[in-house]
Structure formats: C-alpha cells, structure tokens
Amino acid sequence: MSTELSFVRGLIVGSGSSAATPMLSCITGASPCSTCTEALKDPQNSKNHRLNVSFLIQLRHPADSSLHNVLIDCGKTFRESAMKVFPAVGVSDLSAVLLTHDHADAIFGIDELREFNRPDIPLDVYADERTDSSIRRVYPYLFPKGGSPGVGEWRRKKTGYVASISGHVFKPLEKLVLNIVAAHHHLLGATSPRWVFGLLCPLPSHTA
C-alpha cells in the first residue's frame, strides 16, 4: 500500500515562453520594446522577467514530516530560474522531476539537475516514452549503463563523482498525489497535433 504525501504548496519557477522575456532578438534590435527593456534592467524583481515554464510542488511525508520537492519541467533557462526562486524558499534538493514533453524549453536544463544529485542516489525523472528516449539520447552520460549504480559503486568505477538520472516512463504516481492528463501542444505550421502531458495536483481549500 502506497503512502500518500500531503500537499504543502506549489511554486511558479518559470512562467515565460520558450524564448523567455526579455527576448534576445528584441533587446539586441534597433528598437527594444518597453517590456523587454524593463525586464533586462531588474531581472530579480521585474514581473516582466519571465523564464521557461516550470513549477515546483512541495509535499510532506506523514511518517517523519520530511519535505519533498517535485519539479515539473526544467528547460533551457532552469538554472537562472532556480537561482531566483529556490534560495528564497529554502529548496536545496529535489525528490523527483516530471517532464511534460521533449522540447528545449522543458528538458534542456536537465544537465543542471546534477547540482541536486546526492552521492550514490540517482535522481528520479519521470516522462512519457518519447521524452524519456529524447533525454537518453541527448544526455547519455547521465544514465549509467546497466542500470543505476549501487551505494559506493561510482567511487569504485571512477575517481570522481558522476551525477546520474534514474529514468521512469509515466505510470500512476499515487505516492506523489498527482494525476497525468494528455493535451495537445500547438505547433505553428504543424499538420497534426503534438501530445504533451499535464499534471493535476489536488490543492487544499483556502479559508479566510
């Protein structure tokens, strides 16, 4: 029987487009727009400074009250987003990562996940089959051959520590209190829809 973790809070890590704001093409152009200009001047505090979409869910384990951080998507601007958001809320580790699709704005920050890898414990990354295949192709060095190493095996195989990912194709995640739903991702010029995945998390009711 799985243990149900309770929802603590959700945090927006990134809420911008794939190109993010400020847009490089705009800010380096002849007449930058006011939005990109303002975002560039004060990236830490500007509400116009928006990076690739990413969301953090914090869950609490009933047995020991430990806090577990689950990240949804880590795109190409993930490092910058994490530097802005994580220190302010005390996030220093991740329990798991969920990827919604295999575009650059959802997976190209995966290399930065090594910062959250604990020695000898691969970081669990969940994705659909297509996305799982993509990240294995792009980041083969994060997936140890022959499966995840046991405790201490990295040190026997290599002189230095190497981060690693334990990939999982989507399946019911009852212990994470999440439901996975499919949705269409619109692509300009595409002749057929592209599937991405959304995650439903039950939120606690708010009272005055």
Helices of type H across the chain: 24-27, 34-41, 78-89, 104-107, 129-138, 153-157
Find tokens 């994470």 and name the residue.
Answer: 176
Q: Residue 14 pLDDT > 80, yes or no?
A: yes
SS3 at position 79: helix
Structural fold of domain 6-16+51-168 = Metallo-beta-lactamase; Chain A (3.60.15)
Contacts of 24 (CB under 8 A, 6+ apart): none
Task: Record the pTM.
Answer: 0.77
Residue 31 to residue 116: CA distance in whole angstroms: 40
Q: Residue 158 pLDDT > 50, yes or no?
A: no
Residues 23, 27, 29, 31, CA torsion sign = positive
Average pLDDT, stretch 107-120? 86
Residue 72 to residue 131: CA distance in whole angstroms: 13
Structure confidence at residue 201 (pLDDT): 56
Q: Residue 2 pLDDT > 50, yes or no?
A: yes
Q: What would the pLDDT profile of 54-87 be if each residue is shown by its tens digit?
A: 999 998 888 888 889 999 999 999 999 999 999 9
CB 49 within 8 A of CB 17: no
Sorted by where each begins, the domain ranges of the chain are 6-16+51-168
CA angle 111, 178, 170 (to 5 degrees): 55
Integer angstrom CA distances of residue 55 from 50, 173, 190, 203: 13, 17, 27, 14
